[in-house]
């Protein structure tokens, strides 16, 4: 059941989705103080493996050091070149691509060509800047600000969910998919917060959105959640067949969706778990990053079936995403021409809570609605199947 019985106000105005000043405010108030999901340890499995990415205009180098993740500013302290321009690779030693300066795992300088030219040497101002790296399950998170809350505090009860779903045991790393999309980052977030669009956008893959009696919404200061069950369909029956072949006996038909503000989304179903982030690039563009973990076989005698089921599960997840992605730019185009204030239905009440959070953090507005809604237990509530 929904918390609200009447429609809600669309708190954000269209210009909040393309105004440059508000976008800079979001980066400062929402993203700089946040923890960011940056990689899966399986993407850099060996010592020296690395990948690079940019978060909030900050270029990052994420590297495996003897099995532990390290996160650095991808900028050399010598003359400001990026350490590497490669998206991923392996480097036994961190070495700047420009003059060959080398750095140790703690960021201190190592071998420097013609080092005598730099005497007396200022080690503190030439070391690599290090960011905190937290491994939660197989997921790597980092923070860009010294004022970022403790990781456990930031994630709240959702940390336990991340550890359970992404520790590589019940589910294992399947694939990464990235898209560059011409839309404000809030457009896809709000899309994930409602199932109202399912009947139209996902008629071929999901089918019908769940009835209200089969939905439970949960709200907290830095998250909102949906608990529901998959209705009986041919797709669900096919999934059940896959699960049985993998040896899974506890088929729940549950669908759980958490949004950890501002932009970390995690999904759990019987055949897979997913983590998605929407990384702001400009007021009207973002990078969609999605990771799929697929269900593991319960016994070595069924491992052979993983080779069959994993590609099918990954294809199913990608098909749903590819139905969503094109509508983002259409919504963005409409926002930039709209004369309407917008309206939020009760089925979309998680959007209201998200918008209230944004205006509270960015403009200091009092949270009058969603924080008065009772937050339920973190355990998935029982939902009657249709």
Residue 100 has pLDDT above 60, yes or no: yes
In a shared domain, residues 187 and 300: yes
Q: Residues 202-211: what's their mean pLDDT? A: 76
3-class SS at 217? strand
In a shared domain, residues 248 and 282: yes
In a shared domain, residues 126 and 233: no
Collect all residues with Cβ–Cβ distance below 8 Å to 371 and sequence separation of at least 6: 219, 221, 356
In a shared domain, residues 49 and 140: yes
In a shared domain, residues 226 and 294: yes
Q: Residues 282-297: what's their mean pLDDT? A: 94
Q: Would you give the DSSP letter of residue 292?
A: E
In a shared domain, residues 222 and 132: no
3-class SS at 237? helix
Residue 206 has pLDDT above 80, yes or no: no
* Domain count of the fold of the chain: 2
| Residue 159 in domain | no
Choosing from 147, 182, 199, the residue where a domain stops is 147
Collect all residues with Cβ–Cβ distance below 8 Å to 158 and sequence separation of at least 6: 223, 258, 260, 266, 378
Q: Within 10 Å of residue 98's Cβ, how many Cβ atoms?
A: 13
In a shared domain, residues 115 and 17: no
| Residue 379 in domain | no
pLDDT in tens, 26-78: 999 999 999 999 999 999 999 999 999 999 999 999 999 999 999 999 999 99
In a shared domain, residues 56 and 98: yes
Say if residues 280 and 56 touch (Cβ distance below 8 Å). yes
Q: How confident is the model at residue 368 (pLDDT cuts 50, 70, 90)?
A: low
In a shared domain, residues 200 and 130: no
| Residue 53 in domain | yes
In this prediction, residue 365 carries a pLDDT of: 87
| Residue 158 in domain | no
| Residue 157 in domain | no
Higher-scoring residue by pLDDT: 185, 200? 185
Choosing from 147, 175, 204, the residue where a domain stops is 147
Which pair of structure tokens corresponds to residue 331?
A: 């919504």
Residue 159 has pLDDT above 70, yes or no: yes
What's the whole-number average pLDDT of the chain?
89
Range of the domain at 100: 36-147
Residue 383 has pLDDT above 80, yes or no: no
- Residue 19: CATH number of its domain: 3.90.380.10
In a shared domain, residues 108 and 93: yes
| Residue 384 in domain | no
In a shared domain, residues 223 and 123: no
Question: In 3D, which of 357, 313, 351 has the Cα closest to residue 226?
Answer: 351
- Residue 101: CATH number of its domain: 2.102.10.10
Strands (E), the chain: 8-9, 35-40, 49-55, 58-65, 68-73, 88-90, 94-95, 102-103, 130-131, 133-136, 139-143, 171-181, 215-220, 223-229, 254-260, 264-268, 272-282, 285-295, 343-344
| Residue 272 in domain | yes
Sign of CA dihedral 242, 164, 34, 215: positive
| Residue 383 in domain | no
C-alpha distances out from residue 108 to 64, 127, 245, Å: 17, 5, 51
In a shared domain, residues 97 and 29: no
């Amino acid at each position: 059941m929904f918390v609200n019985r009447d429609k809600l106000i669309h708190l954000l105005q269209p210009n909040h989705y393309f105004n440059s000043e508000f976008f800079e405010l979001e980066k400062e108030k929402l993203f700089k103080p946040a923890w960011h999901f940056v990689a899966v340890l399986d993407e850099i499995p060996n010592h020296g493996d690395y990948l690079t990415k940019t978060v909030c205009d900050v270029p990052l180098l994420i590297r495996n050091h003897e099995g532990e993740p390290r996160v650095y500013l991808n900028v050399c302290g010598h003359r400001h070149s990026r350490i590497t321009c490669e998206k991923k690779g392996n480097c036994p030693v961190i070495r700047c691509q420009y003059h060959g300066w080398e750095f140790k795992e703690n960021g201190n300088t190592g071998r420097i060509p013609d080092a005598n030219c730099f005497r007396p040497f200022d080690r503190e101002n030439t070391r690599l800047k290090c960011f905190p790296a937290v491994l939660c399950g197989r997921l790597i998170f980092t923070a860009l600000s010294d004022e970022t809350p403790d990781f456990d505090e930031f994630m709240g009860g959702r940390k336990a969910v991340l550890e359970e779903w992404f520790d590589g045991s019940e589910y294992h790393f399947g694939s990464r998919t990235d898209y560059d999309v011409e839309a404000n980052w809030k457009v896809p977030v709000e899309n994930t917060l409602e199932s109202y669009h399912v009947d139209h956008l996902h008629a071929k893959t999901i089918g019908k959105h769940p009835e209200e009696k089969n939905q439970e919404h949960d709200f907290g200061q830095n998250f909102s959640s949906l608990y529901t069950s998959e209705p009986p369909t041919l797709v669900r029956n096919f999934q059940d067949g896959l699960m049985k072949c993998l040896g899974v006996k506890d088929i729940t038909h549950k669908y759980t969706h958490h949004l950890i503000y501002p932009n970390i989304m995690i999904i759990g179903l019987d055949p897979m778990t997913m983590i998605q982030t929407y990384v702001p690039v400009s007021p009207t563009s973002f990078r969609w990053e999605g990771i799929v973990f697929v269900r593991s076989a319960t016994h070595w005698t069924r491992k052979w079936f993983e080779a069959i089921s994993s590609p099918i599960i990954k294809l199913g997840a990608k098909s749903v995403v590819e139905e969503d992605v094109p509508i983002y730019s259409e919504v963005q185009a409409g926002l930039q021409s709209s004369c309407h204030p917008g309206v939020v239905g009760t089925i979309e009440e998680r959007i209201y809570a998200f918008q209230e959070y944004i205006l509270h953090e960015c403009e200091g507005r009092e949270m009058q609605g969603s924080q008065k809604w009772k937050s339920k237990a973190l355990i998935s509530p029982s939902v009657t199947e249709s």
